[in-house]
Amino acid sequence: MIPSTVKNRDLPTSAPQQDVKMAPLTVGDVLKMTRLEHGDPLKHRRMRHFSWVENECSSLKGRIDYINKTTSRIIESIPLRESPVTLVSLGSGGLLTEYFIHQQLKKAGYRQLYWRVIDLDYQNSGYEQCRKDFKVEAGNENVKAFTTEQAYFRKSIDHNFLSDNDKNQGAVVVLNVSPPRAITDSSSTAGYDSDCILIRGRPIEEAEKANGIYLLMASPASKEDLLNVKKALSEGDSIVYLDCALNCSVNSSGKVVVIHSPSPTGRALNEGIKPYVDKLEGVANSVGRKIDLLNLNKSLEGFVDEMNSRGAFALKFLVSDYDTSLDKLREYFLDGNNPVIFATFDNNECSFT
């Protein structure tokens, strides 16, 4: 990070190009350029390889309203068109929303637009042609794609972290489009035992790209049930509550954060990992380094081995959780000197902070 003693989020008040007129995107414009495919169960609007999902929480009119309002907010807040602007899109998927925002900003006179698109579905070459097409539209060197926010934070270019360069070179816009409804819909908790916690996020194999760890424990007879929990999360369309689970993460200060089921099993898990966490914290303090998720993941392997040797079945897996990703992006970019806009589209509503 570039050192600084003063934080100045004051925005420029004038610009040579401020009189540029730009027509808003209309439903007619989008209908001319796209087609709607009715799938089972999802409907996708497509333009070449670009796409987005349309449903009752994310309608065509709602998307267009979000695109226009986001573009207008950027023009109002960042009037200097020659200024670099980095747009970080979480859950970007088929990039059709991002395509239209980019085109509108280009029409408004912006020339230094840098895109960081983040989606777990980019694993295993997902949306590969779509991402290639977006690089053609926005400039190959100006677009970087990642599977998780942690992969973005760890990306280095010329001995500097890319995210540090983005934060320090100019304004940042974080796009939060159609966050997973299973996470944001609090009504989904109705009818579940108070001894349970919600298991959320998508399993991921690489610790460098994860932002959380789950530990599940039960008798060997329930092994298949626990493995099915991980499978359900991998498919991305299930809500899972368990009374035998514990979630571990590491905050920006390097402290281990634990959330566990209130049940006896959850409390036992919490007590069981304490010696491993305490030892890890002791080593970290002795060498003057912060704990990260890689350290924690390796340490907890010892706990899993211990439980399995005692005749229980313990399952550990890494996840990337959308809400945690958004929180970490928010925390990271707000700790900088340049303007930051958070543009959210959720349940057909637009909000900006």
Residues facing residue 160 across a β-bridge = 157
- Mean pLDDT over residues 224-248, rounded? 90
Higher pLDDT, 235 or 8: 235
Question: Both 230 and 270 in a single domain?
Answer: yes
Question: Both 309 and 331 in a single domain?
Answer: no
**In-domain check, residue 57:** yes
Indicate if the pLDDT at residue 236 is higher than 90.
no
Map residue 179 onto helix, strand or coil: coil
Q: Residue 230 is part of which domain span?
A: 201-318
Question: Both 206 and 172 in a single domain?
Answer: no
Question: Both 337 and 283 in a single domain?
Answer: no
Indicate if the pLDDT at residue 70 is higher than 60.
yes
CATH, residue 110: 3.40.50.80
Give the pLDDT confidence of 99-139 residue by residue, as tens digits.
999 999 999 999 999 999 999 999 999 999 999 999 999 99
Separation of alpha carbons 174 and 269, rounded Å: 36
Indicate if the pLDDT at residue 13 is higher than 80.
no
Give the pLDDT confidence of 242-291 residue by residue, as tens digits.
999 999 999 988 999 999 999 999 999 999 999 999 999 999 999 999 99
Question: Both 165 and 205 in a single domain?
Answer: no
Total number of domains in the chain: 2
Question: Both 279 and 307 in a single domain?
Answer: yes
Question: Both 175 and 251 in a single domain?
Answer: no
**In-domain check, residue 186:** no
Separation of alpha carbons 283 and 289, rounded Å: 9
Question: Both 106 and 155 in a single domain?
Answer: yes
**In-domain check, residue 13:** no
**In-domain check, residue 217:** yes
Separation of alpha carbons 278 and 274, rounded Å: 6
| Predicted local confidence at residue 12, as pLDDT | 47
Long-range Cβ pairs for the range 240-243 (8 Å, 24+) = 240/198, 240/199, 240/200, 241/189, 241/192, 241/193, 241/196, 241/197, 241/198, 241/199, 242/196, 242/197, 242/199, 242/216, 243/193, 243/195, 243/196
Stated as kind and residue range, the H or E segment containing 227 is helix 223-235
| Predicted local confidence at residue 272, as pLDDT | 97
Yes or no: say if 138 and 102 are a contact pair by the CB < 8 Å rule.
yes
**In-domain check, residue 4:** no
Q: Which residues are within 8 A (CB) of 331 and not within 5 positions of it... i.e. 6 or more apart? A: 252
Indicate if the pLDDT at residue 153 is higher than 90.
yes
**In-domain check, residue 162:** yes
Question: Both 224 and 149 in a single domain?
Answer: no
Indicate if the pLDDT at residue 190 is higher than 50.
no
Mean confidence (pLDDT) of the chain: 91
Give the pLDDT confidence of 30-61 residue by residue, as tens digits.
999 999 999 878 899 999 999 999 999 999 99
- Mean pLDDT over residues 222-234, rounded? 94
Question: Both 111 and 33 in a single domain?
Answer: yes
Map residue 13 onto helix, strand or coil: coil
- Mean pLDDT over residues 198-227, rounded? 95
| Predicted local confidence at residue 9, as pLDDT | 53
Yes or no: say if 193 and 241 are a contact pair by the CB < 8 Å rule.
yes
pLDDT band of residue 11 (cuts 50, 70, 90) is: very low
Separation of alpha carbons 197 and 214, rounded Å: 11
Question: Both 49 and 167 in a single domain?
Answer: yes
**In-domain check, residue 99:** yes
Question: Both 208 and 265 in a single domain?
Answer: yes
Higher pLDDT, 285 or 21: 285
**In-domain check, residue 292:** yes
Backbone angles phi, psi at 177, to 5 degrees: -110, 120
